[in-house]
Amino acid sequence: MQLTALHKALLNNYQQDFPLSPTPYLEIATALGVTEAEVLAALTELANQRFISRIGLIIPPNQLGVSCLVAMAIPQAQLQTVANVVSSYSEVNHNYEREHAFNLWFVLIANNQQHLQKVLTEIEQKTGFLTMQLPLIADYFINLGFELELND
C-alpha cells in the first residue's frame, strides 16, 4: 500500500490529542483540509492494511471498573493463536509479546471483579493455558506515540 499525505498526517498527528468531541472525524478533516468521508476512508484503509489496530482511548488502571496486568507462558508455536484469542475480547486493552518464560502480556479491564474473573476463566478455557494476574502496585505511564518518518 502506498501511503498518501492524508495517511501520513493521520498516523503522525492523531496518535495523541485525538479530538474529544461528538464529531472528531469532522474536526480532523477540517484541520487537514479534507472531507470527513476522506478521513474515515483513509482510517479504514490503514486498519485494513494493519497500520493501525484500533482507535480508542486508554483509561488509566482502575479508574473505570477494575483492571489487571496478565501474563501467560505460551509455547512459541502457539503464541499467535493464543494472542488472537486474547485480542478477541473487548475487555483487553492491548497485548504484546515479551522475551521471557511469560511471553504474552495483556491488560484486562472490566466493570467489576466478577466480570474480570469470568473473562480470564474463558481465556484459560479457550486457550488451554493458565493466566497469571499481576496486581497494580505502582502506576507507570509509557507514552505509546511514535513520530513516524514516512518518506515519500
- We report the CATH number of the domain holding residue 125 as 3.30.70.3460
| 73 plus 124 within the same structural domain | yes
Shared-domain flag, residues 25 and 80: no
Whole-prediction pTM: 0.61
> Which triple of cell numbers denotes residue 24?
472528531
Domain extent, residue 92, equals 66-134
Three-class DSSP category at 124: helix
* Residue 80 forms part of a structural domain: yes
Q: Is the dihedral of CA 145, 108, 57, 150 positive or negative?
A: positive
d(CA 74, CA 59): 27
| Top-confidence residue, 80 or 14 | 80
Residue 83 sits in the same domain as residue 130: yes
- 43 shares its domain with 72: no
3-class secondary structure, 96: strand
How far apart CA 30 and CA 141 sit, in angstroms, is 31
Residue 23 lies in a domain: yes
Band (152; pLDDT cuts 50, 70, 90): low
Tens-digit pLDDT profile for residues 106-150: 989 899 999 999 999 999 999 999 999 997 766 665 555 666 665
